[in-house]
Amino acid sequence: MNILVINPNSSEEMTQSIREVLDRIKRQDTYVSVVRTEGAPAAIQSATDVALATPHVLDLVREGNADRVDAIILACFSDPGLEAAREISDVLVLGIQETTLHIAATVIIPTLFPRGSLPPSCEKIAAVSIISSRLSTRIMPYLRKTAS
């Protein structure tokens, strides 16, 4: 399997960290290429950073498709350009925020965040995706209140 991992920010240090972790945990028969987006912000910390990074992410998604990778992972918790990347890609594109929230919805979110303290990025994803219906009842009243 050949997986392209895109670090949507331009930090070589972060890209190297991602590469080192994945090299330790990947299967031996899996090739993982970790790349960064040159020209994007050094860190993705705001909606503006997401908007600035997205065109660079989409360029790398196109390159990954041209190189015939088997899957693409966006390695940034705000998933910059995820929906657009899926629109232009012939292969599976996963964002670590969406994927993590899907997994966490059953166990972690109700225990990690006290009522009323769910981070805004998690609120948005939960409110507009199918995971909102799967969240624990402890969190649902808060999400319904903030979504209105």
What confidence tens digit (pLDDT) does each residue in 100-128 have?
Answer: 877 776 665 555 566 666 666 666 666 65
pTM: 0.75
Which pLDDT tens digit goes with each residue over 43-102? 999 999 999 999 999 999 999 999 999 999 999 989 999 999 999 999 999 999 988 877
Q: Which string of b and e fits 124-144 if b means at least 16 CB within 10 Å? A: ebbeeeebbeebeeebeebbe
Please provide the CATH number assigned to the domain covering 2-99: 3.40.50.12500
| pLDDT tops 50 at residue 23 | yes
pLDDT, residue 99, reads: 87
User: CB of 8 within 8 A of CB of 76?
Assistant: yes
Delimit the domains of the chain by residue range: 2-99, 105-147
pLDDT, residue 146, reads: 47
Q: Residue 37 is which amino acid?
A: T
Closest of 75, 118, 69, 71 to residue 98, by C-alpha: 75
Which residues on adjacent β-strands are paired with residue 32?
A: 3
